[in-house]
Amino acid sequence: MSAATGPSSAWRVFRMRNFGPYFVGNALSASGGWFQNLASAIFVYQETHSALLLGVLNAFQFGPVLLLSPWTGQIADAFDRRRLLIWTQAIAACVTVTLAVLVWHGEATTWLVIGFAGVVGVVTAVSNPAQMALVGSLVPRDSLTQAVALNSMTFNLARAIGPAAAALVIAAFGIAPAFAINAVSYLVLVAALLVITPTPVPRVRGTSFRDSIAIVREKPRLAGYLAIVMAVGITSDPINTESPAIAHVFGYPPVWAGAVVGCFGLGAVLAAILTSDRIGGSDRHLARSLLLFGSGMVLMAISPWFPLALAFVIGAGFGYLSANATATARLQLGVAEEQRGRIMALWSVAFLGARPFASLVDGALAERFGVRLAAAALATPVLIAAGILLRSPSKRAERDPEPVRG
SS (H, E, C) the chain: CCCCCHHHHHHHHHCCCCHHHHHHHHHHHHHHHHHHHHHHHHHHHHHHCCHHHHHHHHHHHHHHHHHHHHHHHHHHHHCCHHHHHHHHHHHHHHHHHHHHHHHHCCCCCHHHHHHHHHHHHHHHHHHHHHHHHHHHHCCCHHHHHHHHHHHHHHHHHHHHHHHHHHHHHHHHHCHHHHHHHHHHHHHHHHHHHHHCCCCCCCCCCCCCHHHHHHHHHHCCHHHHHHHHHHHHHHHCHHHHHCHHHHHHHCCCCHHHHHHHHHHHHHHHHHHHHHCHHHCCCEHHHHHHHHHHHHHHHHHHHHCCCHHHHHHHHHHHHHHHHHHHHHHHHHHHHCECHHHHHHHHHHHHHHHHHCHHHHHHHHHHHHHHHCHHHHHHHCCHHHHHHHHHHHHCCCCECCCCCCCECC
* 167 closest CA partner among 313, 308, 265, 22: 265
**Which residue ranges form the domains of the chain, and what is each CATH number?**
6-195+205-391 (1.20.1250.20)
pLDDT of 7 higher than 70: no
Strand partners, 396: 282
d(CA 228, CA 350): 9
- pLDDT in the model for residue 207: 60
Q: What whole-number distance in Å separates Cα of residue 79 and Cα of residue 69? A: 16
Which phi and psi (to 5°) does residue 208 adopt?
Answer: -135, 175
Angle 257-274/144-173 helices, nearest 10 degrees?
160
Name the range with the highest mean pLDDT among 57-61, 129-133, 153-157, 232-236: 232-236
Handedness of CA 382, 388, 389, 395 (dihedral sign): negative
Rounded average pLDDT over 247-275: 84
Cα gap 202→80, rounded to integer Å: 9
Which pTM was predicted?
A: 0.70
For 367-397, how does the pLDDT look when each residue is reduced to its tens digit (9 = 90+)? 889 999 999 999 999 999 999 988 876 554 4
The answer to whether the beta carbons of residues 162 and 35 sit under 8 Å apart is yes
Q: What pLDDT, in 10s, does the model give residues 169-184?
A: 998 999 999 999 999 9
The pLDDT value recorded for residue 405 is: 45
pLDDT at 358: 83
